Amino acid sequence: MHEDTGTPQRPAPVAHRLAPLFDFSSIAVVGASDSGPGGPRGFRTLQALGFSGPYYPVNNRATTVQGMKAYPNVASLPEVPDMVLVAVPSRFVPDVIDECADVGVKAAVIVSAGFLEEGGDGAELQARITATARSRGPLVVGPNCLGLVSMVYRCAAFDGALPAHTGNVAVISNSGGLMNETMWTGGPRGIGFSHCVSCGNEAGVTAADLIDYFVADPATDVVLAILETVRDPALFSEACTRARAARKPIVVLKMGRSEQGSRSVSTHTGALAGNDAVYAALFRQLGVIQVDDLDELVDMGVLLSSAVPILRNRRLERAGVIEISGGGKELLCDTCAAGGVELPELSQAGATALAAALENRYPATNPLDSGGSWGMPDKDQVYPAALEVFASEPAIDVVVSRYTIPRVGELGRLSNRIEELQAARTAHPDRLFVVLSRTTDQWCPGWGEAVHTHHIPFLQGYGRGPRALGRLAMYSRFVHGPAERTAAQSPQPVLSQPESARPLDEVESKAILAAVGIPVVETRIATTADEAARLASELGYPAVLKVLAPEIVHKSAQGGVRLGLADGAAVRQAFAELEAVAVSAQATFRGVTVQPMAAPGIEIVLGAQRDPQFGPVILCGLGGVLVEALNDVALRVAPISPEDAEAMLHDFRGGRLLAGLDRAALRQAICSLSDLMLAHGDLASVDVNPVYVYPTGVLAVDARVQRGAQSA
């Protein structure tokens, strides 16, 4: 899966429009100097990679830089360079990019800062760069970044320390510092990198573009992305969908999730951080693995770089754990449960074989407590036998060995265990073998070497390790789920004219739901008590009356709902009371709605909001009058396929109440709501609370639609 740095083999170029960024043979550095961002460190980085192409310093105030001839500008170079690294103050950068466009440079990396992240003039400078890059210019990475490294093509526009190894993991990061940290932490953990890009403010090339390239790149199997925002949700979704088809996992560490974090994001690279819950929903929908910090990101790089080739052919969801301690076994049961890792019981045959190998000294269970140090002489028999049993179990996909790794000194007898592990891996190439340590502690140099030479997927910590395995299992379920996802239905308009902003009343709102096929309880308006009584007897008793007043949004909270009215007298009295409710709330009394009492069902809330960045976001959750207090909901970004809708029903706790009820009708209602929002850009929000779910069918008993949004 990965090779040592220094192999000069240069693979064939990838047929992709971003190829010039990663595979270039000549580079000019605008703003080259004897120190600073355009200084000799970048040149040394190139040398370390074995880059032998021309390197042109460009500096309009010096004739030599770093002992080399300097040129006053890009146009005066003896040839058009493949790549231009720009490291001059921000105010000069747009002209440099224009010049690159004029002479036909294909790729540029801008490390200078002082653009969108500073606002004002900076934002304007960045807009000029974007305009040139989009219309006629080079591919632009940055500005406000630390550049990029291609370990595969042995070239870089970057002046930092290189990753230790070449391999199948690519990194994309809005933050240069966090990209560096990922490369530097990943190396000792055994991760080899294909390409690492810090994309900064994404004036030209975006994270979505880069994902698209990595999907096409045969050298990359896994993408680790550190993102402040998703600048182009449509392209991002498309790229992630292609990544899923190619079985290349994308792991995202999304920053700016807290309110404070999102403020610092907007000052950091000028990103407009979207709502965290919507991001999480989108990532789930796209099968993107979301992690919470850098350690977890690196853990996923470690695990997936070995798992992906196996995962292409089989599921990797259930684990067998070979422990050496009773406490560890107990704790692992807890942390695996918390991390969503299934630990299947051994089969009868497996348990018998294991019991024999253990000479009945330890219980033959999963997890196995094999009784103390790997250095004990009996482990020469016990460990290989345990590996063989676990790897032969039909219900075990991932075999985890928990090692106590010497912190200092030599590996000692652990070397034998590593050899036995390697033998088991060779014998069972369709299983994933992982080593887990107890804590995120230090280890002796020999272990680091073993991890690297044997490509041992090494997870650290009883908590973090199972969390990574749980995320792998989730991804496995996603890629091995239904292959063909049903296309979302094509949205058909049901409303005539776009309207100015206004909330629609309950009757108008229900009419819109009915038009897209969501069943609603029949609802009429009465402006007098007599009319209310007449309608109630027409619709059938028991009846429901609700106040109709535009200012009263939460009707029941303000005493505006009367349920279970048995006869005309009760209806007349309710009418009078509701009028009094409107008067005392100083609301405009427009009458009441009259509707029959619906049979009780499970109360679900359906909703839709138009997110400024992602467009329509659909919500489904536990409904009723406590919806806000419970906040037990699932979100998805439209368009929503029936599979997405089904996944939503598993995504909130109250979804369990739907067992035995008409989930298909509810899925249909969710998809119809998604279609409605897509077909009508002027709908701002829809709130259906509650919709009753029955053994057969669903029925909306309350609805509120807000018109008058800008199309998004």
Residues that bind ligand ADP (CB under 6 A): 521, 544, 546, 554-557, 561, 563, 595, 597-598, 603, 624-625, 689-690, 701-702
Partner interacting with residue 707 (select from Mg ion, ligand ADP, none; CB below 5-8 Å by kind): none
- Which amino acid, one-letter code, is at 239? A
- Which amino acid, one-letter code, is at 477? R
Residue 639 DSSP symbol: S
Q: Site residues for Mg ion, window 363-392 (CB under 5 A)?
A: none
Q: What angle do CA 65, 126, 268 make, to 5 degrees?
A: 95
Partner interacting with residue 126 (select from ligand ADP, Mg ion, none; CB below 5-8 Å by kind): none
Contacts of 348 (CB under 8 A, 6+ apart): none
Residue nearest to Mg ion (CB): 702
Which of 504, 468, 486 minimizes the C-alpha distance to 640? 486
Q: Rounded distance, CA 498 to CA 682, Å? A: 6
Q: Rounded distance, CA 328 to CA 343, Å? A: 14
Is 689 among the residues that bind Mg ion (CB under 5 A)? yes
Q: Is 120 left (phi over 0), alpha (psi -120 to 50) or beta?
A: left
Cβ atoms of 178 and 446 within 8 Å: the answer is no
Beta carbon nearer to ligand ADP, 554 or 656: 554
Tell me how far, at minimum, the Cβ of 109 lies from Mg ion, in Å.
54
Tell me how far, at minimum, the Cβ of 626 lies from Mg ion, in Å.
11
Q: Rounded distance, CA 638 to CA 675, Å? A: 8
Beta carbon nearer to ligand ADP, 454 or 590: 590
Which of 118, 218, 192, 200 minimizes the C-alpha distance to 158? 200
Tell me how far, at minimum, the Cβ of 663 lies from ligand ADP, in Å.
21
Structure tokens at 367: 């997890």
Beta carbon nearer to ligand ADP, 284 or 555: 555
Tell me how far, at minimum, the Cβ of 91 lies from ligand ADP, in Å.
56
Partner interacting with residue 598 (select from ligand ADP, Mg ion, none; CB below 5-8 Å by kind): ligand ADP
Structure tokens at 28: 């000019």
Q: Rounded distance, CA 474 to CA 655, Å? A: 19
Tell me how far, at minimum, the Cβ of 404 lies from ligand ADP, in Å.
57
CA 168 to chain CA centroid, nearest Å: 20
Helix (H) or strand (E) holding 142: none
Partner interacting with residue 489 (select from ligand ADP, Mg ion, none; CB below 5-8 Å by kind): none
Tell me how far, at minimum, the Cβ of 689 lies from Mg ion, in Å.
4
Beta carbon nearer to Mg ion, 82 or 603: 603
Tell me how far, at minimum, the Cβ of 368 lies from ligand ADP, in Å.
52
Contacts of 463 (CB under 8 A, 6+ apart): 335, 338, 339
Partner interacting with residue 582 (select from ligand ADP, Mg ion, none; CB below 5-8 Å by kind): none
Beta carbon nearer to Mg ion, 199 or 705: 705
Beta carbon nearer to ligand ADP, 106 or 510: 510
Beta carbon nearer to ligand ADP, 211 or 691: 691
Beta carbon nearer to ligand ADP, 261 or 624: 624
Instruction: Identify the three-state secondary structure at position 445.
Output: helix
Beta carbon nearer to ligand ADP, 177 or 540: 540
Phi, psi torsion values for 583, nearest 5 degrees: -65, -45
Tell me how far, at minimum, the Cβ of 558 lies from ligand ADP, in Å.
8
Q: Site residues for Mg ion, window 62-91 (CB under 5 A)?
A: none
Partner interacting with residue 554 (select from ligand ADP, Mg ion, none; CB below 5-8 Å by kind): ligand ADP
Site string for Mg ion, 690-709 (x = CB under 5 A): ------------x-------
Stretch that binds Mg ion, among 367-375, 494-502, 603-611, 681-689 (CB under 5 A): 681-689
Partner interacting with residue 320 (select from ligand ADP, Mg ion, none; CB below 5-8 Å by kind): none
Residue 520 DSSP symbol: B
Q: Rounded distance, CA 35 to CA 51, Å? A: 21
Partner interacting with residue 556 (select from Mg ion, ligand ADP, none; CB below 5-8 Å by kind): ligand ADP
Beta carbon nearer to ligand ADP, 521 or 640: 521
Is 687 among the residues that bind Mg ion (CB under 5 A)? no
Structure tokens at 245: 């088809």
Residue 71 DSSP symbol: B
Tell me how far, at minimum, the Cβ of 699 lies from ligand ADP, in Å.
8
Is 99 among the residues that bind Mg ion (CB under 5 A)? no
Beta carbon nearer to Mg ion, 30 or 561: 561
Tell me how far, at minimum, the Cβ of 202 lies from ligand ADP, in Å.
42
Helix (H) or strand (E) holding 230: none
Tell me how far, at minimum, the Cβ of 478 lies from ligand ADP, in Å.
35
Partner interacting with residue 701 (select from Mg ion, ligand ADP, none; CB below 5-8 Å by kind): ligand ADP
Tell me how far, at minimum, the Cβ of 578 lies from ligand ADP, in Å.
12
Structure tokens at 2: 């990965």
Beta carbon nearer to ligand ADP, 603 or 675: 603
Partner interacting with residue 344 (select from Mg ion, ligand ADP, none; CB below 5-8 Å by kind): none
Beta carbon nearer to ligand ADP, 73 or 537: 537
Cβ atoms of 595 and 539 within 8 Å: the answer is yes
How many helical (H) and strand (E) elements, i.e. helices and strands, does the chain have? Answer: 22, 31
Tell me how far, at minimum, the Cβ of 683 lies from ligand ADP, in Å.
19
Beta carbon nearer to Mg ion, 171 or 544: 544
Neighbours of 334 (CB within 10 A): 12
Site string for Mg ion, 634-673 (x = CB under 5 A): ----------------------------------------
Beta carbon nearer to ligand ADP, 127 or 597: 597
Structure tokens at 133: 């890059």
Structure tokens at 703: 């609805």
Partner interacting with residue 122 (select from ligand ADP, Mg ion, none; CB below 5-8 Å by kind): none
**DSSP secondary structure string for all residues of 339-369:** HT-B-PPPPHHHHHHHHHHTTTSS---SSEE
Instruction: Identify the three-state secondary structure at position 412.
Output: coil
Structure tokens at 586: 């100083």
Q: What angle do CA 513, 517, 522 make, to 5 degrees?
A: 60
Partner interacting with residue 561 (select from ligand ADP, Mg ion, none; CB below 5-8 Å by kind): ligand ADP
Q: Rounded distance, CA 609 to CA 660, Å? A: 29
Tell me how far, at minimum, the Cβ of 605 lies from ligand ADP, in Å.
9
Neighbours of 361 (CB within 10 A): 10
Q: At what angle do helices 379-392 and 414-427 cross, to 10 degrees?
A: 30
Alpha-helical segments (H) within 506-649: 506-515, 529-539, 568-584, 627-630, 642-649
Residue 462 DSSP symbol: T
Tell me how far, at minimum, the Cβ of 704 lies from Mg ion, in Å.
8
Residues that bind Mg ion (CB under 5 A): 689, 702
